[in-house]
Structure 1
Amino acid sequence: MLSYLRENTGNWIIKIFLGIIVIVFVFLGVGSFGSKRGNSIATVDDEPITMKEYQQTYKSIVDQYRAQFGKELNEEMLKALNIKQQALDALINQKILLAEADKMNIKVSAKELQDALISFKAFQKDGVFNMDQYKAVLSRESLTPESFEHLQRISMREGKLRSVLMSAVNVSDIEARNWYRFLNTKTAVEYIGFDPKKYTDIHPDDAQIKQYRAEHTDQYKSEPKVKVLYLNFAPEDHKVSITEAQIKDYYDQHPKEFQIPETVEAGHILIKVDEKATEDAVKEAQKRALDIYDRIIKGEGFEALAKKYSEDSSKDNGGYLGRFEKQQMVQPFADQAFSMKAGDISKPVKTMFGWHIIKLISKENASTLTLSQVSEKIRQTLELQETQNAAYLKAGEAFDAVIDGDDLDQVARISGKPIMETGEFPISGEGLDMPDRQEFAEIAFELTKDNISDVKQIGNSYYLIKVVQKIDSTVLDLDQAKDKIIQDLTENLRQAKAKEEARLYLEKTKETQSLAQIAKDHRLELKTTPLFSRNGTIEDIGNSPEFIQAGFSVNENQKIFPEIIEAPTGYYLVGFKEKKIPDDSEMTESITDLKQQIAQRKQSQAFQSWITELKKRYTIEYDPQLLN
C-alpha cells in the first residue's frame, strides 16, 4: 500500500485549512515520512528517493498549479512548467536541506511544535485550540497526529534553516530608491509599423508551392495516433454521507466564501481625456462634462444625453454599465459611485479615462449567506471532495499493484474495474467519447508503448492508462497538403516582405536620423505610444518584451533603435519620444515596503545560489528516463 502521505494529499480540504503546510508538502515532496521504503528512483549521497515520493510530489505540484490557474491549466502549460523536473528538484533539495540541518544541529523543540500547532485556525474552536477538532480534521484526511506532527517538524526545521541563511541579506534605502526609479521610469516612443497582413497582393505560384513543399516535407504529415486501454476511477463510483456537523464546520471555516460584497448598478457619460493631455485640454473636457451635468439637473434625460455625447462604448445602451463591485472599477469612479444613493447624479469625476457623470440606479448592501441558504451547496462540495479522494485512493491502490509487477488484467481484477478500450485517436482527442478528451489524449501521447502510466488526474477522475498501439505519421502527398502549404507559404512571403521593407527604411534612417522624416518622405504612418513602464504592455503592439526593451534603449543621444523589432503584430522601427523618471516625492510605496520586496527577491536568489553550490558537494544520481 502507498504510504499515508499519498493517501492524504488527494483531498482539497486539508490544502485549504493547512495552507502553510501545503507549501512545505510541495517543496519537501509530501513524503519524507518513511521515504526509505519502496523502489528508489534517485539517491542523494546514498539517501534514496522513492518512486512513491516522486509520484506524490509530482501530483502535489500539479494540484497547486490547478488551484492557481483552475481550468486554464492544460497539458501544454504543464509541459512548459516542466513539472517532472520540478518534482525531482524538490525531492533532491529536500534531502540536501535535511542533511544540512542535521550538520548545523537545527532542531525543533516540543514547545515550538506545540506553539505552531495551536496557532492553526483549522484546529481551533472559538479561537482556542481544541484537541477534538484537531483529531477530527486530521482523521478526515486519514492523518494521525504523529504523522502530521512529523511533517510539521520537518517544515519548521526547513524554515529555521532558511532564516539562518537569509539573515545576512540586507537592503539599503539607496538600493530601494534606485529600484523604485527603475521599476517606475516610463518612456514613450514613436514608431513605424510594417504589418504582414497588409500585403494582400502576394499569391504563390505552382513552382513556389512545389519548392516550399520540398523544403518543408516534414511539416505536412498525417497526424500520429495512439490506441489505449485504461481503467477509470471516478468519484461517482463512491457513495459518502455528509453530516450536518461537517457542513457547519465548512461554513464556519470558510466565511469569505459566503460573503456577498456590496454592489451598485450604474450608468455614466464619459468625456474622454488623454492621459498626456495639457491642463487646458483637461479643463476644456471638464467644462463639456459640466455643461452636460447642468442639462441633466435641469431635467433632460440622462440616457438620451449619454447616447448623444458619451465617448464610451456604453453610449449605445444609454450609458448603462450594469452591476459591479467596488474593486471592478477605477478608484475615483468607484469611490464616487459607492458613496451615492439610488437616483443620484454625480458631478463630473476625473479618472485616467476622462470625466465621468455617474447615475446610480440601485445599490445592494454587503451581506452573508446563511447556513440554510448554502447548506446544499456545501454538501455537494464536500461530497465531491470525499468521493474524489476515495477515487484517488482506489487508483493509488491499483497503481501499487502495477509497482508490484501486475499487468493491467490483474490490476483490473484487483480493483474491480473493467478495462476500457479506445479506437485510434490523434492528440486532439477527436473520436474519443469522454469528457476532457483532449487532456486525456495529450497524456496518452506522452506515454511509452506497453507501459502502464502512474495515476493521472483528468477532470475529476483518475486513470491508469496503457498505450497498446502507436501509429506514426506519414508524409502527405501534394494534393492532400496543398491548401495548408498555400496558407503557410503566403504567410511566410508576407512576413518576408514586411521585414524587407522595414530593413530598407531602417537603412534610410542612417541618413536622416528621423523617423518623422522617413514617414513624411515615403507616406508612412508614424505613431506614438503612450508612456509605458518596463513591465507594461502597449495595446497596438501586443505582448513584445523586445519592443519594450527597445523603447528603454533609445534616448536623446540614440534617437533610433538600430535593429528591426519583430512583434506579434508585425515589424517595427522604434524611435525616442520622451522619458519620465520619477523622483522620491512621487514614491507611492514606503521605503520599508520596498526594502521588504527587494529582500524577498534577494533572499530567493541567495537561497537558489546556495542550493546550487551545495549540490556540487553531494553525489546525486537518477535515471534520466524519469524526465522523458
Structure 2
Amino acid sequence: MLALLRRKARSPIIQAAVVIIILVFIFWLPQMGGDGGPGTVATVNDEAVSSREFQRRYEETLAQYRDQLGGVIPSELLEALGLRQQVLNQMIQEKLLLQSARTTGLPVTGGEVQEVIHSMGEFTEQGYFSLERYRQTLAAARLSTQEFEAGIRNELLRRKIVEHLIGFAQVSEAEVRERFHRDHDEVRIAYLALAAADFRAGLTPSDEEIAAHYHDHGDRYRTEPRVRLEYVLFSAESELAEITDEEIAVYYQQNSERYNIPEQRRASHILIRSSAEDPAEVRAERRSQAEQVLRLAREGRDFRELALLYSEDASAEDGGDLGFFGRGEMLEPIEETAFALEVGQLGEVVETRFGFHVIRLEEVAPARSISLAEARQEIIRELQKNRGRQQAFSRAGEVYESILTQGSLARGAEATGATLRSTDFFARVEPPAELRNHPEAVAAAFDLNQGELSSIVNTRAGYAIIFVQEREEPQIPPMNEVRRQVESDLRDLQAEAAARRAAEEMLAALREGADLNQLAATAGRPVRQSPWFSRVTAATLDLPAPVSRAGLGLSAENPVPDTVPAADGNFYVLKWREGRPGSEELFARWAGPIRDELLRAKEEAVIETWINYLARQGQIVYTRGAFPE
C-alpha cells in the first residue's frame, strides 16, 4: 500500500487521470451505494469500511494473485497470506491517511478539481471539454456530479498528504557514500576448507548410537510407494513404414517455412534500468547515464568492460551479449536498432519497459534456405515417426477393445497376439529398464489404485496399457532392513561434527595469533586466495555464499570471523588479507541510483510511521464476523 501511495504521489494522476478516475469512481462509488453499503467490516474513527467495497477490493487482489500463479491459488497459500486481513488493513490505512489530510487543512480548490475533469478525454469533443458529454457519461454510470467530484477531491487530497509527508524524507551525501562503500568496497581473503568426507574414515558408531538415530529419524527411511504391473507397449519405432520420394517432396513443400531460415543478428547491450513508474526526473537521469555510456563506447572504450562496469542486466558478465535473434524474437526497440546497424556499429540509446539500452551489433547470420536434399533424412525420420505413431495407436485401440471385451488385460492381449509384460515391485524413481523410455506410463501407474486398468497412455516412445496388480504404500521398514543406511547417515553426521570442531579449533588459534599457512600445513590442507570482490560482485565468484558473506564482514581491525561458515559439507577457515574502497568512477555511476533507493525507502518509512501513529491515536473497531465467506 505504501508503494502504491508513493507512486500515486508522483504518477501522472493529474495529467492522465482517465484510468484512475474511471476505475475508482465509475465502478467504486456506485457499488458503495453512497451509504457504506448493507454492512461494514470495520469503522475507522466512526467512518465505515463497507462490506461491499471490502469484497470488491478482496476479489481484485485475489484476481491479481490468480494471474501471477496461472489461475490457481492453493487454499493453504491464501491462509498463509492472510489475504482478507491484508486487504482490510490496507483499506484502514487509506482511510487514516485521508482523514489526516482533511484535519491537516491541506487545500483542494475547485479549480484543481475542474482541471482534472477538463483533462479527461472521455469528457472532450473535438479537443475541448464538453459539459453535456460530462453529464451524460456520469448519468450513464449512475453517478451524480457531486459524488464524482467528491471522489476526485479525495484523490487529490490523498496525493497532497503523501507529497507533504514524503517532503520530510531527505538523503545526505554522507548516507549515499556510506551505502556505496558498503556495497562496492572490495576485499580479498585467504581461506581453507575442511571437508566432512575427510573425517569419515575410522568413525564406528556404536549399536546404541545407531538405534537412537533410527528412533529419532525413522521418517527419513520411509519407503517410496511401489507397484507391480502387467502392461502392453506399442512402440512407434517398431511400426516403421517405407516413405516414398513423393511423400518427402509434399512434406517439404507443406513445411517450407521450416526450411527458410531468416536473417539473424547477434547484439550486445548495456542496460540502465528504469520503469514507467519512476518520476520524470529519475527517468531523465537514467537516460543521461545511458547516453554517457554511449559516448564512452564511441570514444573507443571496450564495450565488454563498459558492460561489466555499468550494465544492470544479467548479461553484463558476458559483456552484454544477447545472442542471435531474428525478427519478432526480441523487444521491438532493440530489434529495430540491431537490424538497422552494421557489424561493430553502435546505435542510439533506446528505451524499453526495462530501461535504457546502449546497443552494438556483433554479428550477422544471413538468411538461407535448407534444400530438399539437406532436409531429406530429417523429413524421412519425421514421416516415419508420424506413421509409426498412427499405426501404434491403431494397434493399441484394437488391443484395448479386446481387453474390455475379454474382461482382463491378460486375456485381451492373448486374444490379439499382443505381448504381455509384467514387473516385480518397483518405485517411481527406479522403473524397470523396458519402461524407462515410457516415463508417462510410469507416472500413470502411480496414479492408479490396486486392481485398476489405465486408459491408452500416450508416451514419448509410443503408447501403453497398464494394469496395477499390487501396490505397496510407504512405510518405515524395520531397523535391521535399513541398518546399513542408518549407520552411514550417522557417520556422515559425526564426520560433519568432527570437521566443524577442527575448523573451530583453527579459528580459535587464528584469534590467538596463529598463522593460517602453518595451520593449513599441519592439517594438510591448501590455502586459497580469493579474487577481489564486493557485495555486488560476490555472486560471480566460485565461492560459497556463506564464505563470501563472512569475508565481506572482515577488515584489518577484525581479520577473522566469529563463526565458521559452512556449505555443502565443507567448513571454512578464513582470514582477511586486504581491502580497497570502491573507485570514484564507480561512485559517479552509482550515486544517483543509490540516492533514489535510499530516498524511496525513507519516503515509505515516513508514510508508514505516520499511519502507525494515526492508528495508535485513532479508534479502529472491527465488526465481529463481518468478513464475507
**Alignment TM-score, normalising by the size of structure 1:** 0.48
Higher relative contact order (CA 8 A, sep 6+): 2
**Alignment TM-score, normalising by the size of structure 2:** 0.47
